[in-house]
Amino acid sequence: MSDGRRPDRLADGAEADRLLDAAGAGTPTEAGGPPDPLVDLLAAAAAPARPHELAGEQAAMAAFRAARAAPASPARRRPGFTAGALAWGAGVLVTATAGVAFAAVTLEKPPAPPPPPTSVNPAPDSADPGESASAGGTSPDGPTTAEPSTSPSRPAGATEQRSELVGLCRVYLAKNPAEREKTLTAAGFPPLVQAAGGAGQVEAYCRGVVPDPSADATRTGNDNGQGDGHGKGDGNGKADGQGDGHREADGQSDGNGKADGQGDGNGKADGQGDGDGKADGQGDASGQGPAGSRETGDGEENGNGKGRHSPPAERVG
């Protein structure tokens, strides 16, 4: 066809400029002309925002608020380094060097853990966010007994704040391990440190809340012992969940041994999930089947544990 779809119509450049301008201005349609693949392509490339492209909005808003709270100084490298931020930085430094999170706990130890992101907890019967999380501190170097907790100083809705935290976590986890500590001193991150219960806990906390397995490609931090054992006992059932997450180069392995001891009053369910998340962000933790007690089909895992969990739990009745 010789209808102007030929490449050489762009030879003079003016037409090319016109197409680029039109696409950039969001008015790429050619009135009356024949369908032009190049125009279509530019229009598609400049199409209006699609929802997933705006997924980081909460994180951006959180960053904005935080930057407002600690206004930038003229110095360009370290804006936002006001006294408050400095205090935070000092706190972060203390906790980071100490390696434990007690400092933050003494500062503020807010209560309720934030509800997990909705995508992370698909179990229909555990829709309540207040599931008791007993972190299995089976590893010596990861005393993650501090539950993720929301900051009381922020009155914002828990859900909104949580998605902000998730956003901050994504930024944090995107960093090199070497840079992470520094990142936490940046404006905007104090809420995350606070929520995690201290700088030393941020990584573990973030791995727990960021649902995206793709975010882990470059992590090398190891936080052994970060196991979320979600023990959930209904009725009188006693349920122990132990999750043991060893991970290398991988975030996102919640040892999510979920044992629902649902059954008769004395049913005791021990769910043990041993998560060995080695670079594979998939797997099911299973606290499978109560031994002895009546199984109503609830002693099962949901796919929360991104680490490979083996062996599946065994229960003692």
Contact positions toward another protein, by CB under 8 A?
5-7, 10-11, 13, 16-17, 19-21, 23-26, 35, 37-38, 40-50, 52-57, 59-61, 63-68, 71-72, 74, 76, 79-80, 167, 170-171, 174, 176, 186-188, 212-218, 249-250, 279-281
C-beta of 107 vs 174, nearer to another protein: 174
- Which amino acid appears at position 54 of this protein? L
**Least distance (Å) between residue 1 CB and another protein:** 9
End-to-end CA distance of the chain, in Å? 78
**How far apart (Å, rounded) are the C-alpha atoms in residues 122 and 118?**
7
Helical packing angle, 83-98 and 177-184, nearest 10°:
140
Residue appearing with tokens 């170097």: 141
Shortest Å distance, C-beta 202 to another protein? 15
Distances (CA, A) of 165 to 9, 54, 117, 188, 293: 51, 16, 10, 10, 40
Any bridge partners for residue 247, and if so which? 277
Bridge-based pairing state of the strands 268-278 and 238-248: parallel
Which lies closer to another protein via its Cβ, residue 293 or residue 304? 304
Q: Report, in Å, the least distance between residue 23 CB and another protein.
A: 4
Residue 246 pairs in a beta bridge with 276
Minimum separation from the CB atom of position 212 to another protein (A): 8
Q: Which is nearer to another protein, 206 or 239 (CB)?
A: 206
**Nearest CB to another protein, comparing residues 24 and 33:** 24
Residue 72 or 100: the one with the smaller Cβ distance to another protein is 72
For the bound state, the minimum distance from the C-beta of residue 16 to another protein, rounded and expressed in Å, comes to: 4
Give just the sign of the alpha carbon dihedral 294, 125, 239, 280: positive
Closest to another protein by CB, 40 vs 108, is 40
For helices 158-173 and 57-69, angle between their N-to-C axes, nearest 10 degrees: 90
Both tokens assigned to 309:
């969990």
- Considering the complex, what minimum distance in angstroms separates the CB of residue 280 from another protein? 7
Closest CB 78 distance from another protein, rounded Å: 10
292: tokens are: 């002895």
Q: Which amino acid is at 183?
A: T
Closer residue to another protein, CB minimum distance, 76 or 128: 76
**Beta-ladder partners of 248:** 278
Question: Which residue is it, tokens 């006992």?
Answer: 233
